[in-house]
Structure formats: structure tokens, C-alpha cells
Structure 1
Amino acid sequence: MFKFLNMKNETMSDRINQRIKALKLRSTNLISATGASKGTVSQWVNGGTEPSARYLSKLAEVLGVSERWLTNGGLVEETSGNAYPGPEIRRRVPLLSSVQAGHWKEMVEGNLDEVTEWIETTAKVSPFAFSLRVTGDSMSSPPGAGISLPDGSLVIVDPDIEPASGKIVVARLNGSNESTIKKLVVDGPNMYLMPLNPAYRPIPIDDKCEIVGVCTRVEMNLP
């Protein structure tokens, strides 16, 4: 079967160190803010133990993030003062290029410095979701043929949704640096990436194809 990217290897220690680096903090800042001992903070930073509920709120505050992000990970949910992110049904997701989308796993596990544009969506998606702009007319359906993704429309993509036949997916073919948006079709032992435009041919895929995520919503400006 095709490969499905797994992005859940990051630890709380990794996230703490990420924020320490981003904010140019020192361990003494965490000690002062949380009231924890030097040894306890050292355990958090080095991955020996995770912060208990007693320290979590103050730690999230000094790191400038929500407690939810600190414990669960995903895209950084920064906070300011006592203003916290709203319900998860509304999320801010990065807008990626086709090349960035093909290497989304590496970007999440490393850093998001390459992201320059973010899109707000009301889609209920995981913290790892992102958006991608459709280019070309391969996903434009004929009038009356159902769903259509015209050139320039934005799709919201969730890597945590299991891909299945009939779903619109973002995939990276073996040997390619770029991702593509197509309909996944499974026909017995055969699998295809199917354009919605009948003028384009289906793309046969094998187990070397990586399904980056499943498209959950399309957003576009009306003329």
C-alpha cells in the first residue's frame, strides 16, 4: 500500500527547546517563571520528565504558547497575555507551495521559518493541517460533473485523515520534489491519482507514492 506520513514523534521536550530557542530564553527564565528547581527544569529540557500539571500553566505562559500546544504539539499556538486561541473548529493553517507540501513532515519536525503566509479556516482539522493552492486546470470538472477545484482555489489538507478511495488527496510521487492534488482511486490491486478534468490521464501509483494528506475543504474567491 502507499506510504502515509507520520508526524507524531515530537516530544514535549522538543517543543520546550523549540520555544527556548525561538524566544532566546535560558533555563533561569523557566526557573524564575515556574518556581521549579534547577534540576526539575533540566529534566524538562533534556527529556527526563515532563512538567506536571502544577507547572504547566506557568511554563506555557513563559514560552508564549497554549497549554494545548505544549502537551499535544502540532502548529505553534502562540498566546499574548491572557488571550488564548479560540475553538479548534477555527484554525490558522500555513499556505504551502507544492514543494513545501511534499516535504511537510520535515518542515513540521524542523521549523516553520519557510512559511510566509497563513490562511484562516473554519474547517475542523488537526494541528498538522495546511493549505495548498490549486494550479492549472487538471482538477476542473466539466459543468454539472460534481466537485471542481479550479485554478487558484485553496484546499485545506489534513495529514491525520486516513486516505481512502474517492478522496481528494495531496500526494508526492517517487522521484519528485513536488506534490500534486488529485482524486485517489483504488481499483482492486491498482491505484491511481485521478484528475477531475477528463482531458488529463490518470496517474498509476505504487507503494513508493507518499500520500501527504487528505483535502477536507476548498475555499475560493467568487468572480
Structure 2
Amino acid sequence: MKEISIGPTLKRIRLERGLTLKVLSRLTDDKIEASNISRIENEKTGTTLDTLTVIAKALGTTASEIVKEAEGGQQVIAKPQQITYIPVLSWSQIDHWNEIKSKEIDSKAFELWLEAPRGSTSNAYGLIVTGDSMQAMTGYSFHEGCSIVVDPDKQADNHSFVIAKVTDNSYVFKQLVIDGPYRYLKSLNNSYKTIDVTTETLILGVVTAWGYGYTVNNLHPI
């Protein structure tokens, strides 16, 4: 049985779409690393049907269409996915986000924008992390200056990373911990005290992604 080479087909579609390896990886929701896509394209490794299906979806086509072209069939005409961007707010703008987004947002109104992860709602926005309270020695660590995506419409669960407004009316970026009837906000830096969640505490959104620059990585809280 003749082995099918799909690498050149994947590369042709990607370049026709004007996508870098990194952007294509982002469109797979970071499920397939850019380095792995490169190896597949350059026929340095094979791929599974599951992996091909994920890449094909990110390219705007199907695995079966890619295989048909690789077998000598008609070239795939990919339907590009739309990449949307969200504004990066200052921390003082969080309270006014509903008012801001109710108006038509001018792209020049915000200095920084982030690539929105797929699945983000229309209410999502970005923030820049300040301070070192969410830096950790191991696991997830959010350094000062990194970008985070906040989605007010996502449900906060145990161990979710959240933005909250606490009793002194300040905004904090913490990890929500639910321990039976007790709920508190925890820093990843152990030198900071935990904050009890009270009836006055407002969970304003769940942090769904983080990164540097305009691209962010999907976040799956541990």
C-alpha cells in the first residue's frame, strides 16, 4: 500500500492562508505545537488521524479533504478562521468595562490588544499583571508585565484564576480556592496572605489565557 505524504499539502494550505507555524498552532488552541507541525510538514514525522483532524480544522478544512489532495485529488480550498482581538484595559478601567464596550470601540482607543482565544465571549478583555503575588517557583507563574485574558462570562470553579474586587475596593488577581463551605483567594507567591471571600467580594471574571505580547496561551487551571 502506497504511503500518503500529507506534509506538502499542509504546508501549501498554511502558506496560502498566510499563517506562520506559531499562528497555526494558536488556531489549534495550542493542542499541536508549532515544532510538531513543522516536522509533519517536512515529513520528519508521521501524524495520527486525531492530530490531522485538529490541524485541518484550524486551517479551515477537513482531514479527508487534505488526504484527497495528498492522493492527487483536487486542491483544498480552505475557509479561514477569523482571529479576533480584545483590548487591554488598565486596572482602573475594569469597573467601566460595561460602559466602554457598550459603545463602538475604536482600535486607536487602546494602546494594546490581545489575540482572543477561541471560545472567548464578547465580554472578554485583557489586563497586564502587576506585582509578584502570582509568581511561583513551580507550576503556573504569572510574572509582572505578562498579559492575561479575563472573561466575565466564564464560571469560576475551585482553583480557577480570577480577577476579584475585594472589601477595600481594590482589584486582585488570585486563585480561587473552595474548601467545603470556605472560599478564599490565594496568591501563588507564598509570601502573600490569603484573602477570605465574603459577601462583599465580587468575582469579576475568570482568567482563561496568558502570555507576552499580543499572543496568549490557553490556560487550564491545575
Smaller-chain TM-score bracket: 0.5 to 0.7
SS at match of 1:164: coil
Tell me what 1:120 maps to. Answer: 114
Q: In the alignment, does 2:198 pair up with 1:193?
A: no
Post-superposition shift, 1:190? Answer: 1.5
- Which of the numbers 131, 135, 143 marks the counterpart of 1:140? 135
**Number of residue-to-residue matches in the alignment:** 132
Q: In the alignment, does 2:192 pair up with 1:206?
A: no
Once residues 195 and 211 of structure 1 are traced to their aligned partners in structure 2, the CA distance between those partners, rounded to angstroms, is 15
Once residues 89 and 152 of structure 2 are traced to their aligned partners in structure 1, the CA distance between those partners, rounded to angstroms, is 14
- Which of the numbers 157, 165, 170 marks the counterpart of 1:172? 165
Letter in 1 for 2:173: I
Once residues 122 and 183 of structure 1 are traced to their aligned partners in structure 2, the CA distance between those partners, rounded to angstroms, is 21
Post-superposition shift, 1:162? Answer: 0.6
Q: In the alignment, does 2:87 pair up with 1:94?
A: yes
Cα 1:110–1:141, aligned 2, differ >3 Å: closer, same or farther? same
SS at match of 2:175: strand
Post-superposition shift, 1:112? Answer: 5.2
Once residues 102 and 198 of structure 1 are traced to their aligned partners in structure 2, the CA distance between those partners, rounded to angstroms, is 28
Q: RMSD in angstroms over aligned alpha carbons? A: 2.2
Once residues 185 and 110 of structure 1 are traced to their aligned partners in structure 2, the CA distance between those partners, rounded to angstroms, is 35
**Identical residues among aligned pairs (%):** 32
Post-superposition shift, 1:98? Answer: 1.2
Tell me what 1:162 maps to. Answer: 155
Tell me what 1:104 maps to. Answer: 97
**TM (normalized to structure 2)?**
0.54
User: For structure 2, which runs of at least 5 residues remain unmatched after alignment?
Assistant: 1-79, 214-222
SS at match of 1:186: strand
Once residues 96 and 121 of structure 1 are traced to their aligned partners in structure 2, the CA distance between those partners, rounded to angstroms, is 14
Tell me what 2:67 maps to. Answer: none
> What whole-Å deviation, never above 9, does each CA across 1:126-159 have from its counterpart, x for those lacking one?
11110000001000001xx200001100001111
**TM (normalized to structure 1)?**
0.53
User: For structure 1, which runs of at least 5 residues remain unmatched after alignment?
Assistant: 1-85
> What whole-Å deviation, never above 9, does each CA across 1:143-192 have from its counterpart, x for those lacking one?
xx20000110000111111111100011111341x421110111122111
Letter in 2 for 1:138: S
